[in-house]
Amino acid sequence: MFAYYLDLAIRSLKRNPMLTFLMVLAIAIGIGASMTTLTVMHILSGDPLPGKSARIFYPQVDPTPADWYNPRHPLEVMDDRSALDLWAAHRADRQALIVQSPVKVSAPGVDRPPLMLTLLATTSDFFPMFEVPFEYGGAWTPSDETGHARVAVISSDLNDKLFGGKNSVGKTMRLKDSDVRIVGVLKPWRPTPLFYDAEGGFTGNGYDTSYYAKPEDVFMPFQSALEVNDGNFFQFTCWGNGPSVPGHLEGSPCLWVALWVELDGPAKVAGYRAFLKHYAEQQKALGRFANTDTRMLDLMQRLDYAQVIPKNVRLQTWLAFAFLAICLFNTVGLLLAKFLRRAGEIGVRRALGASRRSVFAQCLTEAGLIGFIGGVGGWALTLLGLWLVRRQQTPYSDLVQMDVSMFVVTFVLAVVVSLLAGALPALRASRIAPALQLKTL
């Protein structure tokens, strides 16, 4: 029966090509606009560690003084003493200290000027905890950390620039004024968003697009990195007179170090929360903390709290779906006019025995066919829209691609929208009284 309804729908669409074109165009434009913004939202709001994000947590304490105004206690990162205390307690299955800095990078025997890149000082758990893939070699060992070894892991991009993409494990590069041995080279790795970038979040416009930047090019053991790039690490904020020596943050009243932990199971999560609260209370008793505020969110909660999705993307998505609703209403009007113009034909069918359900199904089939054709046009317009987004100067523009799930959603949304648009006109057409129509023939 469906094949019969489909044949009738095709004949009907050919009969009024201009009206068909207008309906398909309305759906295609609405789908194209909404799916472009929805695809961007889908990419920016995805889970960077599927299946594992619920086990990754971001503990925070507040070492700021009582007279330090801050409506969002605790702040985004910690002072180095607090972060190192929590890390040294080894209360988590895995844990990673994190701090970033700019660094000058070169390689002996490589004929190219030094590069200014970003260095991530971290601990060896960073790589297994965040499932970082390796092309060559691997992470440094805990003994490298305790021995302050001058070792590093580099990105695939940096390996391509310095060593032509070959296995560079064991080779030497120069960071600032120190020689460092390469122990690992990453595969191309682009977590979206860059979730471990703890200092992002609350800039003047409510978000920080650095969450969609590329990962760092150089990774070093925490203490070794502090020695190699001394005095050049990013800080979130300071109080009092800041560091006693400009640029030297260790032991200073500054917030600049982050800590991520992996906890396997609710009991361990509850235990770490209690440990975090006890630590804050202990530090307040010692006079180092003014309050005992703590926070420990899992990875997805942390991203939501930090408002990593740009507000303009959210606004564009709402506006695009509002535009889709306008296109839907226009399609309803066009379909209603089309079906009512065929009142005589529908009346004859009803007089010959067609039920209301059959007429309703025929009209919905025609609406669905219009939606499918509109979906093809909407898919093409979505690809055009995503191409235009990639031309923009935004940190996430190179990430915008349509995946299989969004491809399927495009056609499903187009057909659903057309069926919704066709439901009222189809219902109205199915209620046409055949006797009244036959009198006018």
pLDDT, residue 174, reads: 93
Closest CA to 394 of 207, 177, 179: 207
Using pLDDT thresholds of 50, 70 and 90, give the confidence band for residue 19.
Answer: confident
Q: How many helices (H) and strands (E) does the chain have?
A: 14, 12
Q: Is the pLDDT of residue 43 over 80?
A: no
Using pLDDT thresholds of 50, 70 and 90, give the confidence band for residue 254.
Answer: confident
Using pLDDT thresholds of 50, 70 and 90, give the confidence band for residue 205.
Answer: very low
- Per the structure, the complete domain to which residue 239 belongs is given by 53-305
Percent of the chain residues past pLDDT 90, beyond the cut: 34
- Say which residue, 44 or 385, is predicted with more confidence: 385
Percent of the chain residues past pLDDT 70, beyond the cut: 88
Are residues 327 and 388 both part of a single domain? yes
pLDDT, residue 208, reads: 45
- Say which residue, 437 or 305, is predicted with more confidence: 305
Are residues 342 and 389 both part of a single domain? yes
Residue 426 contacts by C-beta under 8 Å, 6 or more apart in sequence?
335, 339, 359, 360, 363, 364, 367
- Rounded to whole angstroms, the maximal C-alpha distance in the chain is 99
Are residues 224 and 154 both part of a single domain? yes
Give CA–CA dist 280/291, Å, rounded: 8
Identify the weakest region by mean pLDDT among 265-274, 304-313, 368-377, 420-429. 304-313
pLDDT, residue 150, reads: 95
Q: Is the pLDDT of residue 91 over 60?
A: yes
Contact of 252 with 90, CB cutoff 8 Å: no
Last residue of a domain, one of 305, 333, 352: 305
pLDDT (mean) for 268-287: 95
Identify the weakest region by mean pLDDT among 37-41, 136-140, 174-178, 351-355. 351-355
The pTM assigned to this predicted structure is 0.77
pLDDT, residue 206, reads: 40
Place of tokens 């929208």: 417
Name the most confidently modeled range: 197-201, 249-253, 310-314. Answer: 249-253
pLDDT, residue 204, reads: 35
Using pLDDT thresholds of 50, 70 and 90, give the confidence band for residue 343.
Answer: low
Are residues 224 and 373 both part of a single domain? no
Torsions phi, psi for 305 (to 5 deg): -65, -40
Strand duo 218-221 + 115-122: pairing: parallel
Are residues 261 and 324 both part of a single domain? no
Give CA–CA dist 351/7, Å, rounded: 21
Does 63 sit behind a cis peptide bond, omega within 30 degrees of 0 on the bond before it? Answer: no
Give CA–CA dist 36/38, Å, rounded: 6
Tokens at residue 315, please?
A: 């606004």
Mean residue pLDDT of the chain comes to 84
Place of tokens 């935004």: 394
Domains of the chain: total: 2
- Say which residue, 301 or 396, is predicted with more confidence: 301
Q: Is the pLDDT of residue 229 over 60?
A: yes
Are residues 393 and 273 both part of a single domain? no
On the CB side of 71, CA atoms within 13 Å amount to 1
Are residues 388 and 242 both part of a single domain? no
Are residues 198 and 274 both part of a single domain? yes
- Ramachandran region of residue 370, left (φ > 0), alpha (ψ -120 to 50) or beta? alpha
Using pLDDT thresholds of 50, 70 and 90, give the confidence band for residue 280.
Answer: very high
Are residues 290 and 387 both part of a single domain? no
Residue 339 contacts by C-beta under 8 Å, 6 or more apart in sequence?
346, 363, 425, 426, 428, 429
Give CA–CA dist 223/382, Å, rounded: 48
Place of tokens 């996430």: 396
Last residue of a domain, one of 305, 332, 356: 305
pLDDT, residue 433, reads: 63
Sign of CA dihedral 108, 109, 115, 121: negative
Q: Is the pLDDT of residue 166 over 60?
A: yes
Residue 165 contacts by C-beta under 8 Å, 6 or more apart in sequence?
156, 159
Helix, strand, coil percentages, rounded to 5, for the chain: 50, 15, 35
Closest CA to 290 of 301, 304, 280, 275: 280
Using pLDDT thresholds of 50, 70 and 90, give the confidence band for residue 348.
Answer: low
Last residue of a domain, one of 305, 320, 343: 305
Are residues 6 and 93 both part of a single domain? no
Are residues 323 and 422 both part of a single domain? yes
Place of tokens 């187009």: 414
- Say which residue, 158 or 48, is predicted with more confidence: 158
At 233, the amino acid letter reads: F
Are residues 272 and 347 both part of a single domain? no
